[in-house]
Chain A
Amino acid sequence: MLTEFYFFYFSTGFYLLATLGAIGTAKYGKPGWKPVLFFLGFALAGNTLSLTLRWVRQGHGPYVDFWEVISSGVWGYHLAIIIACLMVERIRPILAVVLPILSVMVIWNLVVEPRDALVAITFDTIWLPVHVIVGKIFIGCVVIASSISLIILMRQYGERQELADNAALYFPTMPATGALDELSARFMLVGFVFQTLMLIVGAIWAQDAWGRYWAWDPLETWSFLTWICVIFYMHLRYIQHSLPVINACLILLTFVLAFLTFYGVPFFSYAAHQGAV
């Protein structure tokens, strides 16, 4: 077995351990958010080493074979979550919501068979890694905003079901719903800037590779739809002053669209710009 896979399994173990730790901390107060972040740190270090070794061995970044695309996605989302939790301490309980969801992706990564794929001739450009990096920052921001949104929706659900005296029963140590709404909007704002950059850099790459900046291939069209969805959210949030629960739903819709664009479209698109596959 190649060394990169030892590090991959090491990181997978720690990702799952961090997930269990986050659920335990949310429910029983143990082992605490700091140990969970440490577990995540170990997992991320292993994941980084695994991806780096693969990059060096193959001579191209983790954006060709589907296994490495998922692995680099797992890496990017966890890195975004760690940064957010270090920046804003009070949102650490989102780990209990987001890590179980990301665990599905971690397990998905385990069942996909890794292949050594050749990078296509048209992928041999500096714009591709730049496109991938800004894209990862965008979706990382959306993952954080979505996690916060899930908590807003859980609180709303709690209130509707009259399960508690107040809506803050779910994750009481976290900021008020209004503050969470503002936090998620901030992450969406940052994400929006990087999403716009991702589209522009992607267009420059497309011009370099195929002679056109934009050709409405399925991946381009779905990325554009995701961009429109974020614009719609921004206008509702900042101009119509919509309710946090509506904002949360739109953020989750953005996440679903972005996720399907990254990992779904390549399954049924045979266009030149096939993304992950």
Chain B
Amino acid sequence: MKFLASIWLTLILLTIAAALLLYSRMVDETVSGKLIAMPLVGLCLNLMVAIVYNRKLRTQGGLLVFHLALAAVAGLAAFGQLSAVIASIELTEGSEFDPNQITVMNGSLNRDTLHRIRFIQGPFSINYKPGMTRRETYSTVKIQGPDGKWDEQIVGDHYPLIINGYRFYTTSNKGFATLLSYTDKAGQISTGSVHFPGYPLNEAVQANSWTAPDTAKTVALWLELSAPIYTEDAQWQFSVPKDASLVVTVDDVRTTLLPGQVMPIGGGTLRYGELRAWMGYGIYYNPAMSWILAASLVAVCGLGWHCFLKIRSTPWDAAQYSLKSSLENPLNR
């Protein structure tokens, strides 16, 4: 039982937690949160047992508060590992948030709450300084209030959209999306958008592929911009070019479409509606984090109080101190 209270066990558990975290960050992102939560639960128990076994920890108020708060931080961090969601999504201007489109998800609890989120991506602007330095992002989103009315909100890199505890932040990832409509043989119309790689980062590779709903035919799409939308040595603003054309390659035959134009594919027709922009969002959710912060603040208060009492007991400029370790060592003379 004494081993459960030892600082060596703390070190072992911390090492295991660190190794798992590093592995999950650098090798395999799909490492289960449950696995990482285990050493954290162990740390919480280790600290609790240490408080029970170590009289010094119980009799010194500041130290007791510090260790109790640390135990709480470890326990809450374990809960956070199980419940946190870190994800990303690309949203086309005018489209509604669809949780099924989310990628890179962590956490194993509370995913269902994402399905209750509703908002529509509106237009956005991004300012650039000379030297391609990205500055402010102003992304408009429309949120439906409880009265059914749609309200607008501006979201930025550090002005998140917060819904049900989920925080949506704009990222540097954004680009162009073509709005396509496909009419099949039966006259059924399917509409959707195809996103091209982030712009201007992937300016040279503005290409993607698309498969017609009723055939297995995959067509190659290439977005042809007449000129870059940026000026490298001047201020500029991200905008959607009006004259971009879509090059569609089917069976090695290239067709160039302008907005509004159609072409036959298989038995149906493809219509290039218009070019829009898409915005990439980072999504974060961790119900434990506010509590971890509160516990950390309590910990630092306890620690500060303990240190204050300890330091106040003897003046700084006293050369002789009555501390055990100072007197018991042969080197101290």
Contact = CB atoms under 8 A, between A and B. Distances in A.
Interface of A: 87-90, 118, 121-122, 124-125, 155-156, 159, 166-168, 175-179, 181-183, 186, 189-190, 192-193, 196-197, 199-200, 203-204, 207-216, 221, 225, 228, 232, 235, 237-239, 241-245, 247
B331 A178 contact: yes
Given A214-B289, A244-B329, 16 more contacts: A87-B317, A88-B316, A88-B317, A176-B319, A177-B329, A177-B331, A178-B323, A178-B331, A179-B319, A181-B326, A186-B316, A196-B299, A196-B303, A211-B282, A212-B86, A237-B325
A176 B18 CA distance: 39
B311 A189 contact: yes
10 contacts: A87-B317, A166-B333, A177-B332, A200-B297, A209-B157, A212-B286, A216-B25, A221-B18, A244-B331, A247-B325
Interface stretch (B94-102, B129-137, B222-230, B264-272): B129-137
A182 B7 contact: no
B289 A179 contact: no
Given A177-B333, A182-B326, A213 B293 contact: yes
Interface of B: 7, 11, 14, 18, 21-22, 25, 56, 86, 129, 133-137, 156-158, 160, 167, 169, 282, 284, 286, 289, 292-293, 296-297, 299-300, 303-304, 307, 310-311, 316-321, 323-329, 331-333
A179 B286 contact: no
The winner among A178, A216, A245 for most chain B CB atoms within 10 A is A178
A238 B286 CA distance: 36
B296 A203 contact: yes
A121 to B, nearest CB: 5
B151 to A, nearest CB: 21
Contact of A178 (B133, B318, B329): B329
A204 B292 CA distance: 11
B316 A200 contact: no
Contacts of A193: 300, 303-304, 307
B196 to A, nearest CB: 24
Contacts of A211: 160, 167, 169, 282, 284
Nearest to B331: A177
Contacts of B331: 155-156, 159, 167, 177-178, 243-245
